[in-house]
Amino acid sequence: MILISGFIVLMYTIFFALSLYPVKQQVSAVSGKCIVMAFSMATATLIGLLLAFSMQGQLAVSTILSIVISGIFGHVIGRPFGLMGIVEALMAGFMGGMMGAMLGEMIPINQMTIMIAAMDLFYFFIAAVIITMIRREVPAQKEGLFSARRLPFALLTTLSICIIGGAALFDNVKAASNKAEKTVQIHNHDNHSMD
5-14, 23-32, 131-140: range with lowest mean pLDDT: 131-140
Number of domains in the chain: 1
- Cα–Cα dist 149/15, whole Å: 9
- Cα–Cα dist 42/49, whole Å: 11
Q: Which domain holds residue 36?
A: 2-194
Asked if residue 39 lies in contact with residue 77, where contact means CB atoms within 8 angstroms, the answer is yes
Residue 16: which pLDDT band, with cuts at 50, 70 and 90?
confident
Residue 127: which pLDDT band, with cuts at 50, 70 and 90?
confident
Is 195 a residue whose pLDDT tops 50? yes
Please indicate whether residue 33 or residue 194 has the higher confidence score (pLDDT).
33
Mean pLDDT of the chain: 78
65-74, 83-92, 122-131: range with lowest mean pLDDT: 122-131
pLDDT of residue 23: 75
pLDDT of residue 94: 92
Is 79 a residue whose pLDDT tops 80? yes
Asked if residue 130 lies in contact with residue 35, where contact means CB atoms within 8 angstroms, the answer is yes
Query: Residue 178 class from Cβ within 10 Å (0-12 exposed, 13-18 middle, 19+ buried)?
Result: exposed
